[in-house]
Amino acid sequence: MSDLAVERLALPWKEIKTMNALDLLTLFSYIALNVDIIFQIKQLRATKSSRDLSLIGLSIRYGAILIILVKFVSLSDLPLVVGQGLIAITFTTYFILAIYYSLHGKLRR
């Protein structure tokens, strides 16, 4: 196999560069955003109500999170993929709880 063929078969993560200060700040920013969502989850569980949430708004935000995640994966930018992946996981939990409490509240009425 020629060197060119081997280069074409190179895996995307072989091209990942080392993290610089901006990459680390980006990850810390994503961690802060996740902490914010975790506080929202705690509040949602404490009140056991999603009455003050817009499920349509949450759906739009969830779709945007997933689209941005796909974009970052296509760019092979590790800090952005990791950060957005964490946001996607945390927001999925939040969204599921919001739907659960929305349905649960309607069933109690």
Q: What is the pLDDT along the chain (109 residues), one digit of tens a residue?
A: 555 554 555 555 555 567 788 888 988 999 999 999 999 999 999 988 888 889 999 999 999 999 999 999 999 988 899 999 999 999 999 999 999 999 987 666 5
Instruction: Provide CB contacts within 8 A for 62, sequence distance 6+.
Output: 91, 92, 95
Residue pair 98/40 in contact by the 8 Å Cβ criterion: no
Q: How far is the C-alpha of 63 from the C-alpha of 22, rounded, in Å?
A: 26
pTM (two decimals):
0.76
What topology is assigned to 19-108 in CATH? Monooxygenase (1.20.1280)
pLDDT given for residue 50 in this prediction = 87
Indicate the length of the chain as a whole number.
Answer: 109
Question: Looking at residue 2, what DSSP letter applies?
Answer: -
pLDDT given for residue 108 in this prediction = 63
Domain limits of the chain?
A: 19-108
pLDDT given for residue 49 in this prediction = 87
